[in-house]
Chains A and B, each alone.
Chain A
Amino acid sequence: MGFMSRFAANKGALVGLVLLIALLAFAVLGPWLYPTSPWRMVARPFTAPFVTDRFLLGTDTLGRDVAAGLVHGTRISILIGFVSTLVALLIGVPLGALAGYFGGWIDDALMRITEFFQTIPSFALAIVLVAVLQPSIYSIVLAIGIVSWPPVARLVRGEVLSLRTREYVQAAITVGQSTLRIIFSQVLPNTVAPIIVMASLMVASAILLESSLSFLGLGDPNLMTWGYMVGAGRTRLMDAWWISFFPGVAIFLTVLALNLVGEGLNDALNPRLSRGRE
Chain B
Amino acid sequence: MGDTGTFLMQLWKKTASLALALALLGSASALAQTPKKGGVAQVIVTPEPPMLMQGLNQTGPTNMIAGNIYESMLRFDDKLQPMPSLAKSWKVSEDSKVFTFTLQDEVKWHDGKPFSADDVVFTLDKFLREVHPRWRPIVNNQVEKIEKTDDKTVVITMKQPFGPLLFAMEVASAPIIPKHLYEGTDYKNNPNNNTPIGTGPFKFKEWKKGSYIQLVRNPDYYLKDKPALDEVYYPFIPDAAARAVAYETGKVDVLTGGAVDIFDVPRLAKLPNTCMTTKGWEMFAPHAWITPNVRNGILGSKEFRQAMMYAIDRDFGKDVVWNGFGKIPTGPISSKTKFYSDNVKKYSYDPKKAKELVKASGYKGETIKFLGLPYGETWTRWAEAIKQNFADVGINMEIVTTDVPGWVQKTSNWDFDLTFNFLYQLGDPAIGVSRSYVSGNIAKGNPFGNVGGYSNPEADKLFADAAVAPTPEKRQELYTKVQQVLAEDLPVLWLLELEYPTIYRCNIKNLVTTGIGVNDGFRDAWKE
Does B398 reach chain A (CB closer than 8 Å)?
A: yes
B384 neighbours in A (Cβ, 8 Å): 39, 62, 221
Does B3 reach chain A (CB closer than 8 Å)?
A: no
* B387-421 Cβ-contact flags toward A at 8 Å (1 or 0): 11001000000111111000000000000000000
Report whether A221 and B388 are in contact in the complex, using a CB–CB cutoff of 8 Å: no
Stretch at the interface among B7-15, B132-140, B227-235, B260-268: B260-268
B398 neighbours in A (Cβ, 8 Å): 222
Q: How far is the CA of A232 from the CA of B240 in the complex (A)?
A: 14
Q: How far is the CA of A41 from the CA of B386 in the complex (A)?
A: 10
B399 neighbours in A (Cβ, 8 Å): 221-222
Report whether A232 and B381 are in contact in the complex, using a CB–CB cutoff of 8 Å: yes
Task: Look across to chain A and name the residue whose beta carbon is closest to the beta carbon of B261.
Answer: A235
Q: Which of A31-70 contact B (CB under 8 A)?
A: 37, 39-41, 45, 61-63
Known A41-B316, A41-B388, A62-B320: A221·B401 in contact at CB below 8 Å: yes
Q: Tell me, rounded to whole Å, the shortest Cβ–Cβ distance linking A35 to chain B.
A: 14
B380 neighbours in A (Cβ, 8 Å): 217, 221, 232
Q: Tell me, rounded to whole Å, the shortest Cβ–Cβ distance linking A36 to chain B.
A: 10
Known A221-B400, A235-B261: A63·B320 in contact at CB below 8 Å: yes
Known A41-B316, A61-B381, A62-B384: A131·B403 in contact at CB below 8 Å: yes
Report whether A45 and B401 are in contact in the complex, using a CB–CB cutoff of 8 Å: no
Q: Tell me, rounded to whole Å, the shortest Cβ–Cβ distance linking A93 to chain B.
A: 33
Known A131-B403, A221-B400, A232-B377: A239·B267 in contact at CB below 8 Å: yes
A190 neighbours in B (Cβ, 8 Å): none
A135 neighbours in B (Cβ, 8 Å): 401
Q: How far is the CA of A213 from the CA of B377 in the complex (A)?
A: 15
Q: Which of B291-336 contact A (CB under 8 A)?
A: 316, 320-321
Q: Tell me, rounded to whole Å, the shortest Cβ–Cβ distance linking A214 to chain B.
A: 11
Q: Tell me, rounded to whole Å, the shortest Cβ–Cβ distance linking A46 to chain B.
A: 10
Does A164 reach chain B (CB closer than 8 Å)?
A: no
Does A162 reach chain B (CB closer than 8 Å)?
A: no
Does B23 reach chain A (CB closer than 8 Å)?
A: no
Task: Look across to chain B and name the residue whose beta carbon is closest to the beta carbon of A239.
Answer: B267
A221 neighbours in B (Cβ, 8 Å): 372, 380, 383-384, 399-401
Known A45-B320, A131-B403: A235·B388 in contact at CB below 8 Å: no
Known A135-B401, A221-B401, A239-B267: A40·B261 in contact at CB below 8 Å: no
Does B146 reach chain A (CB closer than 8 Å)?
A: no
Q: How far is the CA of A41 from the CA of B313 in the complex (A)?
A: 11
Task: Look across to chain B and name the residue whose beta carbon is closest to the beta carbon of A240.
Answer: B263
Q: How far is the CA of A217 from the CA of B387 in the complex (A)?
A: 17
Q: Tell me, rounded to whole Å, the shortest Cβ–Cβ distance linking B271 to chain A.
A: 13
Does B92 reach chain A (CB closer than 8 Å)?
A: no
Report whether B377 and A235 are in contact in the complex, using a CB–CB cutoff of 8 Å: yes
Q: How far is the CA of A37 from the CA of B240 in the complex (A)?
A: 30
A62 neighbours in B (Cβ, 8 Å): 320-321, 381, 384-385
Does A134 reach chain B (CB closer than 8 Å)?
A: yes
Q: Which of A186-236 contact B (CB under 8 A)?
A: 217-218, 221-222, 232, 235-236
Number of interface residues of A (CB under 8 A): 20
Does B30 reach chain A (CB closer than 8 Å)?
A: no
Q: How far is the CA of A34 from the CA of B400 in the complex (A)?
A: 26
Q: How far is the CA of A236 from the CA of B381 in the complex (A)?
A: 13
Task: Look across to chain A and name the residue whose beta carbon is closest to the beta carbon of B387.
Answer: A39
* A127-138 Cβ-contact flags toward B at 8 Å (1 or 0): 000010011000
Q: How far is the CA of A30 from the CA of B415 in the complex (A)?
A: 36
A235 neighbours in B (Cβ, 8 Å): 240-241, 261, 263-264, 377
Task: Look across to chain B and name the residue whose beta carbon is closest to the beta carbon of A218.
Answer: B401
Report whether B388 and A37 are in contact in the complex, using a CB–CB cutoff of 8 Å: yes
Q: Tell me, rounded to whole Å, the shortest Cβ–Cβ distance linking A128 to chain B.
A: 12
B321 neighbours in A (Cβ, 8 Å): 62
Q: How far is the CA of A127 from the CA of B110 in the complex (A)?
A: 47
A61 neighbours in B (Cβ, 8 Å): 263, 320, 381
B241 neighbours in A (Cβ, 8 Å): 235
Q: How far is the CA of A40 from the CA of B380 in the complex (A)?
A: 15
Q: How far is the CA of A190 from the CA of B385 in the complex (A)?
A: 52
B372 neighbours in A (Cβ, 8 Å): 221
A232 neighbours in B (Cβ, 8 Å): 377, 380-381
B316 neighbours in A (Cβ, 8 Å): 41
Known A62-B381, A134-B400: A39·B388 in contact at CB below 8 Å: yes
Q: How far is the CA of A236 from the CA of B391 in the complex (A)?
A: 27
A238 neighbours in B (Cβ, 8 Å): 267
Q: Tell me, rounded to whole Å, the shortest Cβ–Cβ distance linking A143 to chain B.
A: 15
Q: How far is the CA of A218 from the CA of B402 in the complex (A)?
A: 9
Q: How far is the CA of A62 from the CA of B320 in the complex (A)?
A: 6
Q: How far is the CA of A238 from the CA of B241 in the complex (A)?
A: 11
Q: How far is the CA of A239 from the CA of B244 in the complex (A)?
A: 14
Q: How far is the CA of A65 from the CA of B377 in the complex (A)?
A: 19
Q: Which of B190-243 contact A (CB under 8 A)?
A: 240-241
Q: Tell me, rounded to whole Å, the shortest Cβ–Cβ distance linking A70 to chain B.
A: 17
Q: How far is the CA of A221 from the CA of B267 in the complex (A)?
A: 28
Q: Tell me, rounded to whole Å, the shortest Cβ–Cβ distance linking B268 to chain A.
A: 11
Q: How far is the CA of A112 from the CA of B320 in the complex (A)?
A: 54
Q: How far is the CA of A37 from the CA of B397 in the complex (A)?
A: 14
Q: Tell me, rounded to whole Å, the shortest Cβ–Cβ distance linking B441 to chain A.
A: 29
Q: How far is the CA of A219 from the CA of B269 in the complex (A)?
A: 33
Q: How far is the CA of A41 from the CA of B391 in the complex (A)?
A: 12
Q: How far is the CA of A61 from the CA of B261 in the complex (A)?
A: 13
Q: How far is the CA of A131 from the CA of B380 in the complex (A)?
A: 17
Q: How far is the CA of A61 from the CA of B378 in the complex (A)?
A: 10
Report whether A236 and B263 are in contact in the complex, using a CB–CB cutoff of 8 Å: yes
B391 neighbours in A (Cβ, 8 Å): 37, 39
B263 neighbours in A (Cβ, 8 Å): 61, 235-236
A239 neighbours in B (Cβ, 8 Å): 267
Q: How far is the CA of A131 from the CA of B381 in the complex (A)?
A: 20
Task: Look across to chain B and name the residue whose beta carbon is closest to the beta carbon of A221.
Answer: B399
A45 neighbours in B (Cβ, 8 Å): 320
Task: Look across to chain B and name the residue whose beta carbon is closest to the beta carbon of A61.
Answer: B381
Closest 8 CB pairs of A and B: A221-B399, A221-B401, A39-B388, A135-B401, A222-B398, A45-B320, A62-B385, A222-B399
Instruction: Taking A37-B388, A232-B377, A235-B241 as given, write out 10 further A-B residue pairs in contact, using a Cβ cutoff of 8 Å, ordered by the A residue number.
Output: A40-B388, A41-B316, A62-B381, A131-B403, A218-B401, A221-B372, A221-B384, A221-B399, A221-B401, A222-B398
- Can you identify 21 A-B contacts, CB atoms within 8 angstroms? A39-B388, A41-B316, A41-B320, A61-B263, A61-B320, A61-B381, A62-B321, A62-B381, A62-B384, A134-B402, A217-B401, A221-B372, A221-B380, A221-B384, A232-B377, A232-B380, A235-B240, A235-B263, A235-B377, A236-B263, A239-B267
